[in-house]
């Protein structure tokens, strides 16, 4: 049995500082990567103990460094891959486990967002997060989700999927661990093993769907969105009709590209693929501005168009 772990970072059990998720910030290298790897390794150990023949880890976090999980720290039988979640059906995957997941945009929770800052997504009127998009793309049993407590409370159509809350929201900029480090490892391994034995839940993949996005887009971003099939309905609202969720691959990528555009200067143009490389550019003015802008984003109220009426 081949099981995939989709690993995100904002909902990792011991994460407490938003800068731990950014490869151009020192806390990422001091604690962030290690903490993410510990949760992922614990989940892999649990899956293998429960009978998985192979665990494939997909690093689905965008920190500016393409490899956030330390592959050498994974147990025997687990390995890193760079597969796109939309391609999982072609890789003979039997089940999916999500680790490190956070709440969607608009939820007042630790570093809440949907894929990138400044983007809100809906499918047939339902506000969705990354758990939805990746589970629908994989189209295999979703064994469970490990992550932030607020995410569990706002799962929408994924309610009923086994959930282990390992991180408790204090505010959008602060979280506290539910477990200490050793207890978190035990809890995650046990949860993963039990989830595999139970077999998970197969989410209903949307078909004949209306996919909607809220974001601010300039002329170039509108061109990108239009080329991917989106139609603009207002200053911040875009929509596209799709036959099934797999057809969302290009529109979703375009929406993410458009929304991330204001942040690209902080994530491109610098080598932050090792601690030494990141340290060499740490004091660059643009990267200092990036760290300050992250803090400002977390402190500022989200605009009305991005904050849904529904909690």
- The secondary structure of 1-60 as a DSSP string is -EEEEEE-STT-TT---GGGG-TTSHHIIIIIHHHHHHHHHHHHHHHHHTT-SEEEEEE-
Q: Cα–chain-centroid distance for residue 305?
A: 22
Q: Are 79 and 267 in contact (CB under 8 A)?
A: no
Percent of the residues in the chain that have a pLDDT greater than 70, as a whole number: 97
pLDDT of residue 288: 97
pLDDT, tens digit (0-9, with 9 covering 90-100), for 15-56 = 999 999 999 999 999 999 999 999 999 999 999 999 999 999
Query: What is d(CA 45, CA 188) in angstroms, rounded to the nearest whole number?
Result: 9
Q: How many CA atoms are closer than 13 Å to the CA of 192, on its beta-carbon side?
A: 34
Region 11-16: mean pLDDT is 98
pLDDT, tens digit (0-9, with 9 covering 90-100), for 274-311 = 999 999 999 999 999 999 999 999 987 777 667 654 43
pLDDT of residue 311: 37
**Tokens matching residue 255:** 């929406």
CATH homologous superfamily of 2-108+131-198 equals Dipeptide transport protein (3.40.50.10780)
The residue count for the chain: 311
Sheet with 207-214, strands from edge to edge, namely: 126-128, 120-123, 207-214, 237-244, 231-232
Query: What is d(CA 129, CA 132) in angstroms, rounded to the nearest whole number?
Result: 6
Q: What is the pTM of this model?
A: 0.96
pLDDT of residue 128: 98
pLDDT, tens digit (0-9, with 9 covering 90-100), for 255-264 = 999 999 999 9
pLDDT of residue 301: 72
pLDDT of residue 310: 43
pLDDT of residue 305: 67
Residue 79, pLDDT above cutoff 60: yes
How do beta strands 54-59 and 163-171 pair? unpaired
pLDDT, tens digit (0-9, with 9 covering 90-100), for 82-134 = 999 999 999 999 999 999 999 999 999 999 999 999 999 999 999 999 999 99
Band (269; pLDDT cuts 50, 70, 90): confident
pLDDT, tens digit (0-9, with 9 covering 90-100), for 141-191 = 999 999 999 999 999 999 999 999 999 999 999 999 999 999 999 999 999
Query: CA torsion angle for 175, 128, 266, 35 (degrees, to 10)?
Result: 40
pLDDT of residue 268: 85
């Amino acid at each position: 049995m081949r099981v995939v772990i989709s690993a995100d970072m904002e909902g990792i059990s011991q994460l407490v500082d938003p800068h731990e998720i950014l490869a151009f910030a020192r806390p990422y290298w001091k604690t962030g990567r290690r903490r993410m790897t510990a949760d992922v390794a614990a989940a892999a150990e649990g899956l293998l103990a429960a009978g998985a023949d192979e665990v494939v880890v997909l690093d689905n976090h965008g920190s500016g460094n393409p490899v956030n999980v330390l592959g050498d720290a994974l147990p025997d039988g687990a390995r890193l891959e760079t597969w796109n979640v939309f391609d999982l059906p072609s890789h003979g995957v039997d089940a999916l486990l999500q680790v490190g997941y956070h709440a969607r945009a608009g939820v007042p929770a630790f570093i809440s967002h949907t894929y990138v800052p400044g983007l809100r997504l809906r499918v047939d009127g339902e506000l969705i997060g990354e758990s939805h998009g990746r589970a629908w793309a994989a189209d295999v049993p979703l064994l469970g989700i490990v992550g932030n407590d607020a995410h569990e409370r706002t799962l929408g159509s994924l309610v009923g999927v086994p959930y282990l809350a390992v991180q408790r929201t204090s505010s959008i900029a602060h979280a506290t661990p539910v477990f200490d480090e050793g207890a978190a490892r035990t809890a995650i391994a046990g949860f993963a093993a039990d989830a595999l034995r139970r077999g998970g839940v197969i989410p209903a993949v949307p078909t004949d769907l209306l996919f909607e996005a809220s974001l601010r887009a300039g002329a170039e971003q509108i061109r990108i969105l239009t080329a991917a099939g989106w139609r603009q309905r207002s200053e911040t609202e875009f929509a596209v009709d799709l036959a099934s969720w797999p057809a969302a691959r290009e529109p979703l990528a375009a929406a993410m590209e458009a929304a991330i555009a204001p942040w690209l200067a902080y994530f491109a143009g610098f080598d932050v693929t090792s601690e030494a490389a990141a340290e060499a550019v740490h004091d660059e003015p643009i990267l200092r501005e990036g760290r300050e802008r992250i803090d400002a984003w977390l402190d500022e109220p989200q605009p009305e168009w991005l904050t849904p009426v529904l909690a």
